[in-house]
Structure 1
Amino acid sequence: MSKIPILFLHNRSYDSAERIFSDQEAWSAYEVHLVTSAKYTDPRLQELCQVTVTNISDLHELEVFCGRLIEENAIQYVSTVTEYFVLLAARLRNTYGLPGMTFATAQRFRDKVLMKTLLAAEGVCTPAFAVVHTQDEVLAFHERHGRCVLKPIQGVGAKDLTVIGSARELPDVTECSQEMEVEAFIDAPMAHCDAITVAGDVQFFSAGQYLQPPGAYRQALFNSSVQIEDAALLQRLRGVQEHINRVLGLEDGVTHLEVFLTPELVFCEIAARPGGGGIAETVEFKYGVNLLRAQVYLDCGRREALVFEGSGRAQAAGHLGILGPQNGGIVQILAEGRHRGQVLEVQHVAPSQATSPRHCTDYSTLCLVQGESHQALRSDLQELQARIAATWGA
């Protein structure tokens, strides 16, 4: 019996692919064609998939390249777990008549202005926002709303995000290579909500709270979060998730939603893919639910393979992403944390980082952490970050 060929677009570490495809029995009926670049190539990938290395930076060229792979290999499904490829994967499905999320649906989860326009019209609380093309438009928005945030309409990872506190800080938007939007600054903590939706119903839901605003990564040099345990807050956040899913028309998929924790819960943005930067790994540690694998299962029409309850290992769980450079002091601090059982897993993403981080998950090191409670783990993480920051000196 011939295997079912699928195309998987990949621009993450080997670890993420391993978390998806390592269960050989689960994928025994499938022939996985993994497309990536030299940067993300790892010899171990060959043990999991058929690997094709190409240039992934030019999405138009990549679309043509993937089209040939689809035709030559009779590909039946296209999947990805990263924001960069969400629209491309959907466009390939549309072009070749393949099942899965359509381009129109994917666009509603990718275009920050479109999603807020649709949601605001249906009663979801959103910040004031506007598309901007000139400095005068940004200035006019700032005069009406005060402190505001300028970011690409199809941005990811808080890359190219600018917080504008005064008229003196206005950037020249005419020099931006992407279409930009501006929105009112919300001075509140932020939660991330990570869910699996099947046939329009939320079947799994979790939420965490960031310790730093994702947009502050250049100053903080950390990106960390702790899973929320407050049952009442989780219920309210789940209600927001379900409302958004209905408005944006989500049938099947894994989503990463960000919400400001104000009394009315203000929407920030949502993506049609698993949370990155350690969030998916944290959810798996706490709940035993693999969001990355769930996304690919749903992309491939495998609802029956989903697992919503697993053997989670941590009472309170979170992640610590370190955006500053590695050094011997950090290695020692994390080794001590592992010995105490506070640090569960350490991934050294890069040996060093000579320049400032490019986005909020541009880590040198990623750690998964656990604690006795949400509040205790927050306190432990803050202490851990202070010790790590001290190794960098002034």
Structure 2
Amino acid sequence: MPSSDGPPYLLLNTKSILHRLPEWFPDAGQDLVVVSTPGALAGADAADRARDFRHLHLLDSFDGPSVEDELAALAERFGVRRVLSTGERDVLRAARLRERLGLPGQDVPAATAYRDKYVMKSLLAAAGVPVAPMRRLRSVRDLTGFAEEFGFPVVVKRLDAGGSNGTRVLWDRAGLDGFAAGWDPGRPGAPQLAEAWVEGDFYQVNGLMDDGRIVLGQPSCHPYSDWFSVAFDAPGMSGMMSDAHPLSARLGRTAADVVAALPPTPGLTAFQVEVFHTPDDRLVVCEAACRAGGSRMVDTHEATLGVNLHGASLLGQAGLGDRVVVAPTGERQGYARFPPARGVLRRLPRHCPLPATLSYSAPGEEGRAYDGSTALGPYVAEVVFSLSGPDTAAEMREVEQWWDDNVVWEDRRNAVPDRWKATARTPRAMPAAMSRATGSTAPSGN
């Protein structure tokens, strides 16, 4: 491949992918000005890693008040031609930089549509895509009026939150009154949106879109939404579905409708669409994102689809989407991440004997008292497994059942009640009495 002779790209990155960048950008030594965090080095020496790029600039955090000015100065110093990003929190930041510097790529309105949940779902509803009833919140009156119109439960969240951070579920009037008593709508990070609870099983479609249309989409089944993972330390599980699954084609069409309804992102870009399948057989869109999924999503999809969604998205943002090669293997995968529970971990399986196991790791510590997980991410064990049959959920239930039979927690608090475990049935809405026992503060899958 010929060497690049143009200005470099500015990459905003928080993912542990720096070692892969020279693979995707063979001229990374000339082409990439990388801004990243120390955590993304994944233990590598910063000086050694910096040799791979035109310049490596490390920030403790992208959230400082002067970060965008610092990024703009860096871009002007190197005369960058495009701004690339990998994480959800950087989507708007990258768009603002492009606007400020007059560079091509996703603009602020398009980025806002994928980050502001009210804008996003307003556009979807206008296009006839089913979403939950919602309302912008500027006062307690807005919240109480919404609950009176649509009933309980009510989900309250930030407009730009990711991973259910800052989201709360209000199951009844007492929960609403308690929330309202301590809620300051003007405080930064305060919930700004109310939504009706959607009862249903949780699915995703992950893949690549190009100028407002899906060019690669893979549906997956998720026995637990994020709400269950934080409220009851339920495993974060995902399994890629076969074409023969009765919902696969419908999920793909719904994802295509979502991408078509939102402002098109120029060039090849990763996307994720979350969907609920309701008991009355409707597909209701939860949210959408113009970035690759988290956890093990990118790794398992690369093994099956033959393309790394981070790499493809970066090449697309760089205007090099024609370099992306997709080489599906047809060998579907799934994963389960088991978060720390509230209790003492007395026995931790050190290997997984299930025949479908592809890899297993157990970084948890036996004898340690854990306080549970307040956010998605931390885990005491993780298993990646192959999937071969049409019933993805059944294969994942086998994995969870093995875990339940072999892990031992002492004095565990707030475990998923048996009637709601995926090993018994896929969870839907949580009864109000059960939720009140947890303080009604857990994130929701909505």
Normalization by structure 2: what TM-score?
0.78
Q: Which runs of 5+ in 1 are unaligned?
A: none
Task: Return the match for 1:257 from 273, 282, 299.
Answer: 273
Query: Relative to structure 2, which stretch is displaced further, 1-10 or 81-90?
Result: 1-10
Describe the shift of the 1:38–1:328 C-alpha distance in structure 2 as closer, same or farther (beyond 3 A).
farther
Describe the shift of the 1:233–1:151 C-alpha distance in structure 2 as closer, same or farther (beyond 3 A).
same
2:130 is the alignment partner of 1:125: yes
* Deviation for aligned residue 1:86: 0.8
2:206 is the alignment partner of 1:201: no
* Deviation for aligned residue 1:147: 1.1
* Deviation for aligned residue 1:387: 3.9
Describe the shift of the 1:10–1:357 C-alpha distance in structure 2 as closer, same or farther (beyond 3 A).
farther
- C-alpha deviations, 1:39-82, integer Å up to 9, x for none? 44442543644421124243541111111110111111211111
Task: Please state whether the residue corresponding to 1:126 is helix, strand or coil.
Answer: coil
Residue 36 of structure 2: aligned partner: 36
Task: Please state whether the residue corresponding to 2:219 is helix, strand or coil.
Answer: strand
2:23 is the alignment partner of 1:23: yes
* Deviation for aligned residue 1:350: 11
- C-alpha deviations, 1:75-115, integer Å up to 9, x for none? 11211111111100111111111121111100000000001
Describe the shift of the 1:207–1:17 C-alpha distance in structure 2 as closer, same or farther (beyond 3 A).
farther
Task: Please state whether the residue corresponding to 1:160 is helix, strand or coil.
Answer: coil
Residue 9 of structure 1: aligned partner: 12
Describe the shift of the 1:354–1:382 C-alpha distance in structure 2 as closer, same or farther (beyond 3 A).
closer
2:105 is the alignment partner of 1:89: no
Task: Return the match for 2:106 from 82, 89, 101.
Answer: 101
Residue 188 of structure 2: aligned partner: 177
What is the number of residues matched between the two proteins?
386
Question: Contact between 1:353 and 1:364, CA under 8 Å: does it hold in 2?
Answer: no
Q: Alignment identity in percent?
A: 19
Instruction: Give the aligned residue type for 2:299.
Output: E
Instruction: Give the aligned residue type for 1:318.
Output: G
Residue 383 of structure 1: aligned partner: 401
Question: Contact between 1:151 and 1:182, CA under 8 Å: does it hold in 2?
Answer: yes
Residue 141 of structure 1: aligned partner: 146
- C-alpha deviations, 1:280-312, integer Å up to 9, x for none? 112112222211111101111111111222335
Rounded to whole Å, the distance in 1 between the matches of 2:253 and 2:106 is: 23
* Deviation for aligned residue 1:392: 5.4
- C-alpha deviations, 1:108-137, integer Å up to 9, x for none? 000000011111111111111001133333
* Deviation for aligned residue 1:384: 3.6
Question: Contact between 2:223 and 2:393, CA under 8 Å: does it hold in 1?
Answer: no
Rounded to whole Å, the distance in 2 between the matches of 1:349 and 1:257 is: 31
Task: Return the match for 2:156 from 129, 150, 153.
Answer: 150
Rounded to whole Å, the distance in 2 between the matches of 1:4 and 1:345 is: 43
Q: Which runs of 5+ in 2 are unaligned?
A: 413-446
Rounded to whole Å, the distance in 2 between the matches of 1:321 and 1:255 is: 22
Residue 228 of structure 1: aligned partner: 241
Question: Contact between 1:349 and 1:366, CA under 8 Å: does it hold in 2?
Answer: no
Question: Contact between 1:6 and 1:30, CA under 8 Å: does it hold in 2?
Answer: no
Rounded to whole Å, the distance in 1 between the matches of 2:364 and 2:258 is: 34
Rounded to whole Å, the distance in 2 between the matches of 1:219 and 1:68 is: 43
Greater helix content:
1
Query: Relative to structure 2, which stretch is displaced further, 205-214 or 35-44?
Result: 35-44
Rounded to whole Å, the distance in 2 between the matches of 1:115 and 1:384 is: 39
- C-alpha deviations, 1:329-354, integer Å up to 9, x for none? 4351xx234x8451435485999895
Rounded to whole Å, the distance in 1 between the matches of 2:134 and 2:369 is: 35
* Deviation for aligned residue 1:174: 1.4
Larger radius of gyration: 2
